[in-house]
Structure 1
Amino acid sequence: MNKLAKELLKKNNTREKVISDDNQEIYTNMIVYLRGSDLTEYNQEVVREDMIELILDGQQRGDNIQKVMGGRYKEICDEIIEAIPKKTNKDKVMEYLGTSLNSIWILGVIALVKNLVMNFISDDAAFQFVLTVGDVLTILAIIFMANFIVWHITKTAFQSENNKKVGSFLKEWIVISVAFAIILLGNIYLKTIIVSIPLWVAAIIVMFIFVISKVINDKV
């Protein structure tokens, strides 16, 4: 997230605290839906700022969010999203790259700790960072599962509670089950080593990925 988007995010986070409890649920659904759009993070915050302004103006008049927006929450969001410039292909690539690198360095830290512990309890402590085929599949499964859950939440923000309960549970159960099956089977059967390097080298690589992810995310 770039500097302008961060500043506007901070401002919006402060202002939304004044939104009443009666308006909070619908406002939250609108923002969740907005997060799944093709708008840049800065434009999302611009839209969010306008929504907060509308809601707070309505509260001052004694009107709730339903009266202010006429109950057409999804339609209003779609109209706003349609009227604002979307992410360019470059924006999408940079955002995807930044998100992927974030996931990789976080999982890399976990893998470093795991390898360090295994080296300490091993009789032959060579302090090597070992990456197997199963580890790679585990990383990919976790990234896919996280992205699917976020995508699913944003796309079902305006569904009725009954539809959410049935549809969401079924889809999430299938995806999580498949992901866990891949993780479990990969760690049990796919033990072919594809990387074996000193732990300190792995730590430097993870640090490098972290720095690159910060640079990319600050430009998105």
Structure 2
Amino acid sequence: MQVTVKELVQQNNEKRKILTPENQEYYENMLVYIRTNALKGERATEEVLLEMLDHLLEAQREGKKAEDVFGKSPKELAEEIIKTLPKESFKDMLDFILEMVFTLFGWYLAIGGLFPLITKQNQTIHSGSLLLAGVLLISSVVVLLYFLFGIIKRNAFEEKRKKNKVNWLLGLLFALLFVSGVSVNFIVEPFGPTITISYLVQFGLGCFFLLAAFLYKKSRESK
């Protein structure tokens, strides 16, 4: 039976714990750099990373360091490895994007529909406000992916303190965009044609989207 992508990642996570601090930092920098190439096949990427890790662990048992195995230019080596990886299929890329979009809209609808569910009050939806909220949420997806696969990659070989700073900025910007999308109906004067829906609909749709995102994730990890 073929090992799933999730199992490959789990094996990598467990085996990395055996590395010395120096070898771990070297390897994880390359891991981040290689993984952030979203257009490359996820399975092929994880298989190569695990193969590299096994090779490094074997060398470590012989008293060698990561630089002795992979050289002193990890970024150049990572670029060469990336070139050999096959491209991700259009279907798998679409599944990943839909997973992200469903997750965001699921939380947006579930959070926004929680209060009406408790009070059991039907809602009046303004289509213009809903469209604005959707644009903000989709923008948060675009920003998240851009930072995740762009800036984090460029900082993969930087000092740990600088990488932590980038991660904080990423999280802050993403949170601001997401909160803006969730709170737009409370901050901006509602506008556009109105639609009245049951208090069950919005929360129910949110749960449906979150379930769809979960199923997409499970499907992706089981390949």
Normalising by the residue count of structure 1, what TM-score does the alignment of the two structures yield?
0.75
Residue 217 (structure 2) pairs with residue 213 (structure 1): no
Letter in 2 for 1:29: N
Residue identity over aligned pairs, in percent, reads 22
Contact 2:32-2:156 at 8 Å conserved across structures: no
Residue 56 (structure 2) pairs with residue 61 (structure 1): no
Partner of 1:51: 52
Partner of 2:173: 176
Residue 184 (structure 2) pairs with residue 189 (structure 1): no
Alpha-carbon shift at residue 27 of structure 1 (Å): 1.6
CA distance in structure 1 between the aligned counterparts of 2:35 and 2:124, rounded to whole angstroms: 37
Alpha-carbon shift at residue 49 of structure 1 (Å): 0.5
Partner of 1:149: 147
Query: Cα gap change, 1:107/1:64 in structure 2, threshold over 3 Å: closer, same or farther?
Result: farther
Letter in 2 for 1:59: Q
Alpha-carbon shift at residue 59 of structure 1 (Å): 1.0
- Taking only aligned residues, the RMSD between alpha carbons, in angstroms, comes to 3.6
Contact 1:108-1:206 at 8 Å conserved across structures: yes
Alpha-carbon shift at residue 65 of structure 1 (Å): 0.9
CA distance in structure 2 between the aligned counterparts of 1:203 and 1:3, rounded to whole angstroms: 37
Letter in 2 for 1:188: I
Q: Which ranges in structure 1 are unaligned for 5 or more consecutive residues?
A: none
Contact 1:3-1:218 at 8 Å conserved across structures: no
Query: Cα gap change, 1:19/1:10 in structure 2, threshold over 3 Å: closer, same or farther?
Result: same
Letter in 2 for 1:154: I
Partner of 1:28: 28
Alpha-carbon shift at residue 208 of structure 1 (Å): 2.3
Normalising by the residue count of structure 2, what TM-score does the alignment of the two structures yield?
0.74
Letter in 1 for 2:187: I
Contact 1:39-1:86 at 8 Å conserved across structures: yes
Q: Secondary structure at the match of 1:39?
A: coil
Partner of 2:114: 113
